């Protein structure tokens, strides 16, 4: 099986991120705190609790080079945490939001980070040395609804976003004095900050997790209609493909492509030699139903479960052992993170979800997937 480690840290986890050397993991246990655990003598021990937010922490990212943690919350605030001796010290971020902050990602050079919000805006933040705080430039009036996910292009300038208006967009985030001209896209008329490069209207429902390929040539994002979209040649005439699947919708994607979401089981998508994308298989053991695949039986099973909850007082989190049969996650997977170290060929990633688990997966031991790695 692809899952090599399962850790039950909490009853529910909203997001997680790893330290540069993967010896520590930071996550939000569905409250206003960020817990940091460290691996000590093959056991995970809680070493820090970051307390500054007033509401649920909705996004965490841990920079790989500068060892800084950025967190965002429904309280409309963001903090950058720097390690000073044994403590983590927060630095204020000026977001100027009137709605919840929903997601955050460091740029590849780690001199900026982007925050998506429920205010239909994206804040691109950078550090001001003289004031010792992080300030933001805001991309406004481009989204028609909440921004659910952000992803940086490898060039450190282009930023992809998804929104509950069903669209995926790509913007320029060039900031004078922060970015160098050499890192711009290279055209004779380089776009200014906030200029929209392309708008992809492929999904008929909410759009979620978005990721760039390592080369920056392909963009992938998912819709709440159980479809995943792949876009090449980002620009005036992009080439798009979509893959529909019968299972529950995805929430996030990672390179290769690995999709995670409401089906509680990572899904593998890959392109063949002709560039045609398709669904390969589930990574974990598939959930099996004792009543079989018929729609009528599925309805009866769901009705019976609701009846049992009402009669016996069972919560929605109750999972019958006979229904999961080897499944690793018991609830929606809402976060995925890469675990590759520099110079390592190990194809590992981690997932966390509403069941409070952090699961480490290894693709290297999957013989049938090696041709796609």
Specify the pLDDT at position 201: 92
* List of the chain residues with pLDDT < 70: 1, 182-190, 255-256, 285-327, 341-346, 367, 370-373
What are the structural domains of the chain? 3-178+191-286+320-369 (2.130.10.10)
Specify the pLDDT at position 339: 85
* DSSP conformation class of 176: B
Specify the pLDDT at position 319: 38
Query: Any alpha helices (H) in the chain, and if so which ranges?
Result: 295-312, 321-324
* DSSP conformation class of 93: B
CA distance 321 to 283: 20
Report the sign of the C-alpha dihedral through residues 225, 229, 234, 238, in that order.
Answer: negative
Continuous segment of H or E residues that includes residue 70: strand 69-73
- Joined together, the tokens standing for residue 123 give 């804040």
Strands 78-84 and 258-261 come out as unpaired
Specify the pLDDT at position 332: 93
- 37-71: pLDDT as tens digits: 999 988 999 999 999 999 999 999 999 999 999 99
106 exposed, middle or buried (CB, 10 Å; 0-12, 13-18, 19+)? buried
Residue 264: closest CA among 281, 287, 241, 242:
287
Specify the pLDDT at position 321: 36
Specify the pLDDT at position 342: 56
Is 229 within 8 Å of 242 (Cβ atoms)?
A: yes
Specify the pLDDT at position 306: 55
Specify the pLDDT at position 166: 94
CA distance 358 to 18: 11
């Amino acid at each position: 099986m692809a899952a090599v480690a399962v850790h039950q840290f909490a009853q529910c986890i909203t997001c997680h991120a790893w330290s540069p050397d993967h010896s520590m993991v930071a996550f939000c246990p569905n409250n206003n705190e960020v817990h940091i655990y460290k691996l000590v003598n093959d056991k995970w021990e809680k070493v820090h609790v970051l307390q500054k937010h007033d509401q649920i922490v909705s996004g965490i990212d841990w920079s790989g080079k500068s060892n800084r943690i950025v967190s965002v919350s429904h309280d409309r605030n963001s903090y950058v945490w720097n390690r000073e001796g044994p403590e983590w010290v927060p630095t204020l971020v000026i977001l100027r939001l009137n709605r919840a902050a929903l997601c955050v990602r460091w740029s590849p050079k780690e001199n900026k980070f982007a925050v998506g919000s429920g205010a239909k805006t994206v804040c691109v933040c950078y550090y001001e040395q003289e004031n010792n705080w992080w300030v933001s430039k805001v991309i406004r009036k481009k989204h028609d609804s909440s921004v659910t996910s952000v992803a940086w292009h490898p060039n450190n300038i282009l930023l992809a976003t998804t929104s509950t208006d069903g669209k995926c967009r790509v913007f320029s985030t060039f900031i004078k004095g922060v970015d160098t001209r050499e890192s711009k896209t290279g055209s004779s008329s380089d776009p200014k900050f906030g200029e929209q490069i392309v708008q992809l209207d492929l999904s008929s429902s909410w759009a979620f997790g978005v990721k760039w390929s390592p080369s920056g040539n392909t963009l992938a994002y998912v819709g709440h209609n159980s479809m995943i979209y792949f876009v090449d040649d980002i620009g005036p005439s992009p080439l798009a493909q979509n893959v529909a699947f019968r299972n529950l919708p995805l929430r996030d994607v990672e390179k290769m492509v690995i999709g995670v979401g409401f089906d509680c089981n990572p899904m593998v998508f890959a392109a063949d030699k002709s560039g045609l994308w398709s669904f390969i298989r589930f990574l974990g053991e598939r959930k099996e139903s004792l009543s079989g695949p018929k729609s009528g039986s599925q309805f009866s099973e769901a009705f019976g479960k609701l009846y049992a909850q009402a009669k016996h007082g069972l919560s929605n989190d109750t999972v019958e052992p006979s229904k999961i049969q080897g499944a690793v996650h018991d609830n929606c997977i809402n976060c995925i993170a890469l675990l590759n170290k520099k110079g390592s060929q190990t194809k590992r990633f981690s997932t966390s979800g509403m069941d409070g688990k952090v699961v480490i997966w290894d693709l290297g031991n999957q013989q049938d997937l090696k041709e796609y790695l």
